[in-house]
């Protein structure tokens, strides 16, 4: 080989070296720690900030080359999300996952029957990537949330539709709660528009309140329409609802798990043993089945019920109700209205 050819080959190798280094760096897999690496890319983070976070975590061994690859790809947006990397992975695979948004799903769960305080606890304990800035705290949180677009009638209690709500790191908790509120508004208005005729309810909010009581009675969905009928019949006749969950709500932190005779007489507008009609606000977040039960109740004239486990017995008069108590609850224990 002539000296000219050797020189030309050397120049070619020098010219190709950056491309080779680029290819090896982008496609040679790196072994991550056994426990893996988790990197949150928060909503609103710039692409440079996202790449810097990946580099600090040890996922990117050559962040400058990664930035070059991202630029050569046309500067596609890096999707916010929680990214978990394990085993062996190359930088090209990392880039693909970030562009495609292949992140670990994050969801805020709202369970039927939860109160606002339970949702707050869920956010605190199980949603560390939700932003909690501007989320009102304390005893007045339910009222102050309405001033931030979550809830109505002066309270957020009852207004958050139970479901699982997807989010990415950096999403504000308030925005997720607003989604749950809008969902409840939509479901409630739709059900109210198609409600059964002759219900003793003045507006959708009263339906929401009663649905929260039906929800907290803890009956299986198959029994909720009948229980709703009992409460609606009591409202028609001006009878107190006499629902234990309303007393428990009135007691708040003072409730120890078993209602005493003294606690049953706690003075509160939520005590439906002492006051007729509905309490001033919902006492929990009702699910879809309890909302449907209230707006499409069973065809029944019953005024009382007792529960024996998941079995319910109904009565149209107090005499029959006492007989039911003697028959089903005297020795077995249970709950009744």
The domain spanning residue 66 has which CATH number? 3.30.1490.480
Asked whether the beta carbons of 221 and 289 are under 8 A apart, the reply is yes
Residues 91, 95, 101, 107: is their CA dihedral positive or negative? positive
Do 96 and 121 lie in a common domain?
A: no
Instruction: Give the pLDDT confidence score for residue 78 in this predicted structure.
Output: 93
Do 120 and 215 lie in a common domain?
A: no
Domain that holds residue 204: 195-336
Do 315 and 235 lie in a common domain?
A: yes
Q: How many of the other CB atoms lie within 10 Å of CB of 84?
A: 13
User: Domain for residue 36, yes or no?
Assistant: yes
User: Domain for residue 2, yes or no?
Assistant: no
Angle at the Cα of 132 from the Cα atoms of 35 and 101, rounded to 5 degrees? 50
Do 112 and 142 lie in a common domain?
A: yes
Angle at the Cα of 162 from the Cα atoms of 156 and 167, rounded to 5 degrees? 90
User: Domain for residue 290, yes or no?
Assistant: yes
Do 231 and 115 lie in a common domain?
A: no
Distance of alpha carbon 221 from alpha carbon 301, whole angstroms: 20
Q: Please name every residue paired with 167 in a beta bridge, in sequence order, or none if there are none.
A: 106
User: Domain for residue 118, yes or no?
Assistant: yes
User: Domain for residue 226, yes or no?
Assistant: yes
Residue with tokens 């109700």: 321
Instruction: Give the pLDDT confidence score for residue 8 in this predicted structure.
Output: 43
Instruction: Give the pLDDT confidence score for residue 290 in this predicted structure.
Output: 98
Do 49 and 84 lie in a common domain?
A: yes
Do 84 and 111 lie in a common domain?
A: no
Do 218 and 307 lie in a common domain?
A: yes
Question: What's the total number of domains in the chain?
Answer: 3
Instruction: Give the pLDDT confidence score for residue 310 in this predicted structure.
Output: 83
Both tokens assigned to 87: 């085993």
Pick the last residue of a domain from 69, 100, 131: 100
Number of residues that this document lists for the chain: 337
Do 73 and 133 lie in a common domain?
A: no
Do 237 and 331 lie in a common domain?
A: yes
> Of 117, 110, 109, 108, which Cα lies nearest the Cα of 248?
117
Instruction: Give the pLDDT confidence score for residue 26 in this predicted structure.
Output: 58
Q: How many of the other CB atoms lie within 10 Å of CB of 143?
A: 15
Pick the last residue of a domain from 43, 65, 100: 100
Do 209 and 325 lie in a common domain?
A: yes
Asked whether the beta carbons of 155 and 28 are under 8 A apart, the reply is no
Pick the last residue of a domain from 189, 209, 224: 189
Asked whether the beta carbons of 228 and 291 are under 8 A apart, the reply is no
Instruction: Give the pLDDT confidence score for residue 336 in this predicted structure.
Output: 62
User: Domain for residue 321, yes or no?
Assistant: yes
User: Domain for residue 78, yes or no?
Assistant: yes
* Segment-wise mean pLDDT, segments of 10 residues, the chain, 337 residues: 51 40 59 90 93 92 86 91 93 91 96 97 96 92 95 96 97 97 98 98 98 96 97 98 96 87 92 97 98 98 91 93 83 58
User: Domain for residue 10, yes or no?
Assistant: no
Asked whether the beta carbons of 58 and 37 are under 8 A apart, the reply is yes
Do 115 and 28 lie in a common domain?
A: no
């Amino acid at each position: 080989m002539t000296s000219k050819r050797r020189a030309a080959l050397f120049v070619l190798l020098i010219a190709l070296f950056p491309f080779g280094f680029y290819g090896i760096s982008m496609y040679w897999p790196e072994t991550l720690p056994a426990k893996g690496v988790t990197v949150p890319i928060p909503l609103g983070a710039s692409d440079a900030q996202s790449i810097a976070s990946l580099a600090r975590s040890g996922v990117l061994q050559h962040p400058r080359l990664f930035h070059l690859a991202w630029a050569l790809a046309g500067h596609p947006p890096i999707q916010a999300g929680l990214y978990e990397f394990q085993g062996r992975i190359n930088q090209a695979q990392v880039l693909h996952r970030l562009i495609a948004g292949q992140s670990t799903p994050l969801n805020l769960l709202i369970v039927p029957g939860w109160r606002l305080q339970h949702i707050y606890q869920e956010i605190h304990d199980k949603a560390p990537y939700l932003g909690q800035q501007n989320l009102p705290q304390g005893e007045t949180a339910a009222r102050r949330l309405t001033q931030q677009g979550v809830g109505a009638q002066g309270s957020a209690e009852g207004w958050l539709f139970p479901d699982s709500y997807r989010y990415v790191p950096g999403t504000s908790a308030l925005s997720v709660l607003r989604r749950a509120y809008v969902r409840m508004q939509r479901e409630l208005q739709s059900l109210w528009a198609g409600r059964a005729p002759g219900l003793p309810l003045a507006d959708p909010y009263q339906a929401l309140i009663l649905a929260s009581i039906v929800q907290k009675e803890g009956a299986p969905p198959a029994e909720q329409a009948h229980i709703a009928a009992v409460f609606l019949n009591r409202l028609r006749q001006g009878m107190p609802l006499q629902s234990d969950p309303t007393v428990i709500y009135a007691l708040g932190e003072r409730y120890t798990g078993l209602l005493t005779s003294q606690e049953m007489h706690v003075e509160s507008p939520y005590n439906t043993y002492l006051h007729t009609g509905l309490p001033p606000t919902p006492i929990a977040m009702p699910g879809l089945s309890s909302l449907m039960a209230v707006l499409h109740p069973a065809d029944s004239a019953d005024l009382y019920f007792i529960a024996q486990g998941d079995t319910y017995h109904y009565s149209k008069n107090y005499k029959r109700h006492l007989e039911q108590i003697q028959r089903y609850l005297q020795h077995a224990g249970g709950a009744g209205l």
